[in-house]
Amino acid sequence: MPAIFVHGVPDTQRVWDAVISRLGRKDVVTLSLPGFGCPLPAGFSATKEAYVDWLLDRFATLERPIDLVGHDWGALLVVRAVSLRPDAVRSWVAGGAPLDREYVWHQAAKAWQTPGLGEKVMAGMTAEMLQAALVAAGVPAADAVTAAGNVDATMKQCILNLYRSAVHAGEEWEDDLRRVSAPGPGGRSTASSSPAPWGRRWRRGTSTAMTSTSV
């Protein structure tokens, strides 16, 4: 029963190295989202739905049930995957991401979601600028250097596609949280007759999961 770790934006699977080194289990799988420090498959659209489908496809290659861990965009993908395939997951934990129809995207996200402006922002995003922003957000300097160094043109385009596909992610995904049955943060499942409040809990900053930079 492996543990799958899913990173966020603008990271790669390397963001988990320090965490993995402290774990006692040997069945850990760290994934790099397509286009994030790894090749982008031909025809891959890099939308939120494409990344969810990609993650679900990974489930098929591993022994189940799975323990899932996600941060930032990885958290959103984890929660979506758990709501679509609750039978495949034993437990899950996610943080640093709001899945809530009331969530208002931050300024950088709004810029990325705007055609033309997003491309301009990405063109001006240097490694030095990103490194400084990550450090200001609380990321350790060494990790910020590594993360910033991994950001290339492919990742930038994937970020634009991902955020533009997610303008209404809360409205589109929140209701399906009622289908989650595996234990999550706090040891509880979210299965109920109404959508679970995980998105609102994250937005208020009371998630029990890890956080760093935010979606």
CATH of residue 23: 3.40.50.1820
Please indicate, yes or no, if residue 210 is contained in any of the structural domains: no
Give the Cα-Cα-Cα angle 99, 105, 107 (nearest 5 degrees): 155
pLDDT average, residue stretch 161-180 = 96
Q: Which domain holds residue 23?
A: 3-203
> Whole-prediction pTM value?
0.86
Q: Sorting pLDDT into bands at 50, 70 and 90, what band is 161?
A: very high
The dihedrals phi and psi of 94, each to the nearest 5 degrees, come to -150, 150
- Is residue 103 situated within a structural domain? yes
Q: What's the total number of domains in the chain? A: 1
User: For residues 12-45, b (16+ Cβ closer than 10 Å) or e, as one string?
Assistant: bbebbeeeeeeeeeeeeebbbbbbbbeebeeebe
Q: Give pLDDT tens digits for 62-92.
A: 888 899 999 999 999 999 999 999 999 999 9
Beta pairing class for 3-6 and 66-71: parallel
pLDDT (0 to 100) of residue 182: 82
Q: What is the pLDDT of residues 5-60, one digit of tens each?
A: 999 999 999 999 999 999 988 899 999 999 999 999 999 999 999 999 999 999 98
Q: Which residue has the higher pLDDT, 191 or 137?
A: 137
Residue 97 lies in a domain: yes
How confident is the model at residue 187, as a pLDDT?
53
Residue 135 lies in a domain: yes
pLDDT tens profile 142-152: 999 999 999 99
70, containing H or E segment: strand 66-71
